[in-house]
Structure 1
Amino acid sequence: MKGKKILVTGGTGQVARPVAESLAEGNDVWCLGRFGTPGIEWELNRRSITTWHWDMDDLSGDALKGLPEDFTHVIHSAVRRGEDGDFNATAEVNSVAAGRLMAHTRTAESFLYVSTGALYARQTLDHKYTETDPVDGVADWLPAYPVGKIAAEGAVRAFAQVLGLPTTIARLNIVYGPGGYGGVPMLYFKRMLAGEPIPVPLSGQNWCSLLHTDDLVAQVPALWRAATAPARVVNWGGDQPVGITDCVRHMEALTGVEAKLVPSEVTRETYQFDPTLRRELTGPCRVAWRDGIRRTLETLHPEHVRR
Structure 2
Amino acid sequence: MIEGKKILITGATGQVARPVAEALAKNNEVWCLGRFADVDAERELSDLGVRTWRWDMAGLAEDGLDGLADDFTHVMHSAAHRGDGIDFDASVEINAVGAGRLMTHCRRAEAFLYVSSGAVYAGQSPEHLVREDDPLGGQMPWLPTYPVSKIATEGAVRAFAVTLDLPTTIARLNVAYGPHSHGGMPILLFRRLLAGEPIEVPPRGQNLCSPIHTDDVVWQVPLLWKAATVPVQVINWAGDDAVGIQDMLTYMAELAGIEPRFASSEVYRATHAFDNTRRRALIGRCEVGWREGLRRTLRAHFPDLVKEAADAVQQ
Q: Deviations over 1:69-124 (max 9, x none)?
A: 00000000000113341100000000000000000000000000000011101011
Unaligned runs of 5+ in 1: none
Aligned partners of 1:137 and 1:289: how far apart in 2?
A: 25
Give the conservation status (yes or no) of the 8 Å contact 1:175–1:183: yes
Aligned length: 307
Give the conservation status (yes or no) of the 8 Å contact 2:123–2:138: no
What's the counterpart of residue 234 of structure 1? 235
What's the counterpart of residue 67 of structure 2? 66
Give me the TM-score of the superposition, normalised by structure 2. Answer: 0.96
Amino acid at match of 2:52: T
Aligned partners of 1:212 and 1:163: how far apart in 2?
A: 33
Give the conservation status (yes or no) of the 8 Å contact 2:7–2:72: yes
Aligned partners of 2:41 and 2:288: how far apart in 1?
A: 28
CA distance 1:78–1:62, change in 2 (3 Å): closer
Unaligned runs of 5+ in 2: none
Aligned partners of 2:37 and 2:253: how far apart in 1?
A: 34
Asked if residue 304 in structure 1 is aligned to residue 305 in structure 2, the reply is yes
Give the conservation status (yes or no) of the 8 Å contact 2:235–2:278: yes
Aligned partners of 2:252 and 2:62: how far apart in 1?
A: 47
Give me the TM-score of the superposition, normalised by structure 1. Answer: 0.98
**Could you tell me how far 1:137 is from its partner in structure 2?**
3.0
Q: Deviations over 1:8-67 (max 9, x none)?
A: 000000110000000000100000001001311111100100000000101135421000
Asked if residue 13 in structure 1 is aligned to residue 42 in structure 2, the reply is no
Give the conservation status (yes or no) of the 8 Å contact 2:116–2:154: yes
Aligned partners of 1:247 and 1:152: how far apart in 2?
A: 31
Q: Deviations over 1:247-289 (max 9, x none)?
A: 0110111111222100011001111000110111111100010
Amino acid at match of 1:26: N
Q: Report % sequence identity.
A: 58
Q: Any idea what SS the aligned residue of 1:39 has?
A: helix
Q: Which runs of 4+ in 1 moved over 4 A?
A: none
What's the counterpart of residue 80 of structure 1? 81
Q: Any idea what SS the aligned residue of 1:131 has?
A: coil
Amino acid at match of 2:173: L
Between 55-64 and 190-199, report the one with greater CA deviation.
55-64
Q: Deviations over 1:168-215 (max 9, x none)?
A: 000000111122221111111101110012100011110000000100
Amino acid at match of 1:236: W
What's the counterpart of residue 265 of structure 1? 266
